Chains A and B, each alone.
Chain A
Amino acid sequence: MEHFLTEVLADHYNYWAYIALMMIGLYAMIAKNNLVKKIIGMNIFQTAIILFYVSIGFKKNATIPILDAHGAHGHEVVAHAVDYINPLPHVLMLTAIVVSVATLGVALALVLKIYREHGTLEEDDILNQLSE
């Protein structure tokens, strides 16, 4: 039990939070009937992935990935990789956030179009209308 608390839970509880968020999003996408709720589920899912990536880049006792240029007066800045957190996940998620906003816009446009066509956003009502 003590091993579980100190080794497994204390070092991995962040992953558990993302998995919980991811499953909430996935459940909303699978089970919810309303299309807007499905889109909200998709966004929760994306947020979980973004949090997961950013947390992978974190290092203990390290600072943000911007080099401290003030220390160097005339001589080279020596940067050690352990002093700065991993910039790569930040770069990937920076673009992913903007792209997720853009895809959200497209999804909302599609939903608006569907509402104009069918007068409802409930999935089974739309399916009934389509099968008639």
Chain B
Amino acid sequence: MRILGLLSCALLGALLIAIAADFPEWGDAHSPASEHLSPYFIEHTMEDTSVPNIVTSVLADYRGYDTMFETIVVFCAGIACFFLLGSYACAEPEERFYRSVETGVVLRFTGDARPRPDSPCFERIDPRWTPRDIIISMVGRIMVPFIQIYALYVVAHGHHSPGGGFQGGVILGAAFILLALSSNLRTMTRCIDHKVLGVLSALGVMIYAGVGVTCMVMGSNFLDYAALHTILGVSPVAARSLGILFVEVGVAMTVMATMVVIYNNVASAGRYEEGL
């Protein structure tokens, strides 16, 4: 099997290299890929959408339909992860451990007994709990707000600089994952609940599709943002620019929530306890 695999891969590689000699040269400005559609995008993005970042205007406007379904694929992946591993109705274990924050004493509770849920003196821990490094958890905690601000900048400034919904959403999700990695999963769950994440990832897709349906209601094609200009009170070109922003916010929400959902489920094998 191993030899056969190696042989077939080598054969296929040799064939592809032989074919690659006919491919356009590296950096050829007149290669077939750059001849047909992309000159239109480059030359008309300003007059059509007033968005200087061509990648953003192609992503959310010219190819908005494609991007909507990419977002749905990401959403479905998050749902699939949840259905494979997780569940909201985790049975409470018989023994629960609470650690006193000040003294480090760990108390074991059985039955229905527990400290007050909002008590600042105790934190819930798991049997596999390990003491966390104070430097890592503090530095992670300090970094998180800055990463989140940067992520919002990337989402909001996608019209004029590299960025947009997908990139900003991934950075925003990375901030939450950093919090979970530097302390533990329970700390992150206290900041953003699993159910909130589920709702956010569906809400992002809904915003995207909702903008499209609103365009239809206004009497235009699905995702033709120019139709929104009567609602927004701006010119049709500015309405397309604003429509791109709405859609990007939806994408960012879905991507952020899905990244965190996938991390939660895979890192804790669906039990949402200690995590990695």
The chain A residues found within 8 Å of chain B, CB to CB, are 8, 11-16, 19-20, 22-23, 26-27, 30-31, 55-62, 64-69, 76-77, 79-82, 84, 86-91, 94-95, 97-99, 101-103, 105-106, 108-110, 112-113, 116
Given known A-B contacts A64-B162, A95-B67, A110 and B43 have beta carbons under 8 A apart: no
In the assembled complex, the Cα of A109 lies from the Cα of B27 at a distance in Å of: 40
CB-defined contacts of B259 to chain A, threshold 8 Å: 101
Verify B6–A16 contact, CB threshold 8 A.
Answer: no
Q: Determine the interface band of chain B, counting residues with CB < 8 A from chain A.
A: 35 or more
CB-defined contacts of B24 to chain A, threshold 8 Å: 56
B143 contacts A by Cβ under 8 Å: no
In the assembled complex, the Cα of A64 lies from the Cα of B120 at a distance in Å of: 51
In the assembled complex, the Cα of A57 lies from the Cα of B49 at a distance in Å of: 22
The one of B33, B47, B53, B166 that contacts A65, using a Cβ cutoff of 8 Å: B53
Name which of B80-88, B128-136, B209-217, B228-236 contacts chain A: B80-88
B21 contacts A by Cβ under 8 Å: yes
What 0/1 readout, one digit per residue, does chain B (1-39) give for beta carbons within 8 Å of chain A?
110011011101100110011011111110101100111
The one of A12, A55, A89 that contacts B21, using a Cβ cutoff of 8 Å: A12
Name which of B71-79, B89-97, B105-113 contacts chain A: B71-79
In the assembled complex, the Cα of A68 lies from the Cα of B58 at a distance in Å of: 17
* Majority SS at the chain A contact face: helix
Verify B26–A109 contact, CB threshold 8 A.
Answer: no
B126 contacts A by Cβ under 8 Å: no
5 A–B contacts from the bound complex (CB under 8 Å): A14-B26, A55-B26, A56-B33, A60-B28, A98-B74
B160 contacts A by Cβ under 8 Å: yes
CB-defined contacts of B262 to chain A, threshold 8 Å: 101-102, 105-106, 109
What 0/1 readout, one digit per residue, does chain B (235-276) give for beta carbons within 8 Å of chain A?
000000000000000000001001100110110011000000
In whole Å, how far is A43's beta carbon from the nearest beta carbon of chain B?
15
Which residue of B is nearest A105, CB measured? B262
Verify A26–B38 contact, CB threshold 8 A.
Answer: no
CB-defined contacts of A97 to chain B, threshold 8 Å: 166
B41 contacts A by Cβ under 8 Å: yes
In the assembled complex, the Cα of A103 lies from the Cα of B261 at a distance in Å of: 13
CB-defined contacts of A112 to chain B, threshold 8 Å: 84-85, 266, 269-270
